[in-house]
Structure 1
């Protein structure tokens, strides 16, 4: 068995064990990130016993925190029966090892915590492969040796992950497993690309900070039954559903994994195939939790991730969700700051029609009118029109097919050239 710095247990039965009962001490900066770290820990199933703050401008290379703070942590651990410490940062392998040796307790960092939550919530084959790949890549850099029993690390937050059978006895075999995972994910990507080619309806992608209400909105628009939970990263898998716009045109909405500040780079890389749905989208809905206290920072996090993964500029609709939780003063303030945004409650359905009308407006913005008779020799264009446009009237007459419709500009121009002139 390998020793993984930071205390990740590699027992097979801990791939996804659900709720744990770790007694947790949190260590982080003196800022608003405290609440998010608490939410992450609760999502992973930890019982928070306390929080110790440190100054980020005074980082110790050996233990991340100074001697005085280290002693404070040690005393708290002894007095409160703590069995896990979570740091709100990414620790180096040496810092993790030094902290565990000094404190004689399991220590994990923010990256391990997020990886653990992803492992807990991965349901489909693709998301499980993606999470395992990210975990193995993270573990590989922290592999220090073999043959040492890690019995004190049995179970708990930060231990869910690849089983013992998947962590072989040397780096070469771990790299071989990562290579196989990459190949499997590439095959899934190829299948996804083929499926994309058959899509004719406009695609609207949901993007937003984790727990902004994306799954709730998807359910509201499509009457789907996607999991909705008030916790971070409740859903990881890309979901695509059809829904209807007010004018009757069908569209596709795609849900994506939620974003979070300092999302581990390995996870962004592993989930890139899933996030590619955003690149295929015609419109991006940037969904924001209007009841959040740090809206601007979360919005900037999402914008930065989108800038990193999108290949071209997209139409974007800014939507503030959870207005049922806002008082009139805060809602008015947000409306004054973001006059072009749409304000909804995905939970109650309030103002959903406003969002649908906005989507329809954008979808039809570049549509052109087609009206006239198309000869039977060009009847194949009618099928393209049905697949890509909106047919209002279709009538078969002696001269050909009378059509009145709306279609994307390029298709409309092509069809209009085929329209028969009155004799």
Structure 2
């Protein structure tokens, strides 16, 4: 008898190459940060980044995003290293996608498509699944022609043009009908959610907002003593989770929402606006910031811009700088042992972060540092709002 054969049935990780364009006025470290985030997105989706290519350009090439020389360089690497997919840091137009795919002969994704793929894998509730499917179809609709490029290989004139076009038009009609159906389904879900929110109207509502992966779900678990899914991945939370929280006998509602991110596809923002109703209708926002991230100031701006788009920028907001245990001074100051100097809680309270973002708190949700002060400030905010809204109820607290 021959030797038994053993096969590795584990799912093979797809290897990816990243491509970005450095625009005029963009600093190299800024480009690096964007591509690092893109690599994190690939990792979240289950892939592994093999190599990164960048090119300085006034603007992306209308046909192939990067120049022909750079595309040839990428093609050589993809073929020699047997790369599975190439991911571009900006949204590609249908023609760019088609041209690049024809040239590289591998799977081509852009940032929007990658984010949609992650969302599809993370959606749990009927609402989130419907929203993601709607966004995917809206993304797919203008790109339908690339699905029928096999017809280009068929030479010959008369009669060859029709079937492809007919099939594309048929698919387009089916997708438009499905989009219409999904929009109706979302309207129905929104009505049901609105009824639920009205039933909870008596309690003050607090919403956690922030960039993706800043620790909102960890804070939610800590305050609500619940088990909301939290991990070191982008978009760990897609569905809005609402929990009743009690601090010193004062109940209020706390919601955890999907994290924001730069260059979030517009149709995705549109589809998820109903999920973010919890943000729009909240009385108080807790804006969570990962202070250990080297670009946390940029992340604050991205969140503020998204809140502005949602019409929630002027709400009563508490700035919570999380992960103070992991913060290191950007100046790179070192002690006598050559170790980077970290800040104490008092240092944080005297910093520009505290002065420019009052009221501001500095915590480590993971290590439960300075949580009592956080709870006290939150209690004070909620009780003040509750007393103003329900003066007779205030006698109970």
Is the 8 Å Cα contact of residues 386 and 394 (structure 2) preserved in structure 1? no
**One of 347, 352, 372 as aligned partner of 1:337:** 352
What SS does the corresponding residue of 1:258 show, helix, strand or coil? coil
What SS does the corresponding residue of 1:217 show, helix, strand or coil? helix
> How high is the TM-score relative to the length of structure 2?
0.81
What SS does the corresponding residue of 1:273 show, helix, strand or coil? coil
What SS does the corresponding residue of 1:60 show, helix, strand or coil? coil
Pairing 1:1-16 to 2, within 5 Å after superposition: none
Is the 8 Å Cα contact of residues 24 and 49 (structure 1) preserved in structure 2? yes
Alpha-carbon distance change, 343 to 26 in structure 1, aligned in 2, over 3 angstroms: same
Is the 8 Å Cα contact of residues 140 and 171 (structure 1) preserved in structure 2? yes
- How far has the Cα of 1:21 moved from its partner? 1.9
Q: Deviations over 1:157-180 (max 9, x none)?
A: xxxxxxxxxx99421221111111
Pairing 1:11-410 to 2, within 5 Å after superposition: 21-29=13-21, 30=28, 31=31, 32-144=33-145, 169-199=170-200, 200-246=202-248, 248-310=249-311, 313-327=314-328, 329=342, 332=347, 336-339=351-354, 340=358, 341-366=360-385, 389-392=393-396
Whole-angstrom CA distance in 2 between matches of 1:142 and 1:74:
22
Whole-angstrom CA distance in 2 between matches of 1:106 and 1:334:
49
- How far has the Cα of 1:364 moved from its partner? 2.8
- How far has the Cα of 1:139 moved from its partner? 0.2
State the structure with bigger RCO (CA 8 A, min sep 6), 1 or 2: 1
Q: Deviations over 1:108-153 (max 9, x none)?
A: 1000000000001111111011000000000001111766679xxx
- How far has the Cα of 1:312 moved from its partner? 6.8
Q: CA RMSD in A?
A: 2.4
Alpha-carbon distance change, 217 to 333 in structure 1, aligned in 2, over 3 angstroms: closer
- How far has the Cα of 1:330 moved from its partner? 5.1
> How high is the TM-score relative to the length of structure 1?
0.76
Structure 1 residue ranges without an equivalent (≥5): 1-17, 151-166, 370-383, 393-405, 407-423
Whole-angstrom CA distance in 2 between matches of 1:191 and 1:185:
10
Q: Deviations over 1:14-34 (max 9, x none)?
A: xxxx97621111111441212
What SS does the corresponding residue of 1:391 show, helix, strand or coil? helix
Instruction: Find runs of 4+ consecutive structure 1 residues off by over 4 angstroms.
Output: 145-150, 366-369
What SS does the corresponding residue of 1:86 show, helix, strand or coil? strand
Is the 8 Å Cα contact of residues 207 and 255 (structure 2) preserved in structure 1? yes
Structure with more strand by fraction = 1
- Which one has a bigger Cα radius of gyration? 1
What SS does the corresponding residue of 1:25 show, helix, strand or coil? strand
Whole-angstrom CA distance in 1 between matches of 2:114 and 2:205:
33
Structure 2 residue ranges without an equivalent (≥5): 1-9, 22-27, 152-167, 329-340
Is the 8 Å Cα contact of residues 210 and 289 (structure 2) preserved in structure 1? yes
Is the 8 Å Cα contact of residues 321 and 343 (structure 1) preserved in structure 2? yes
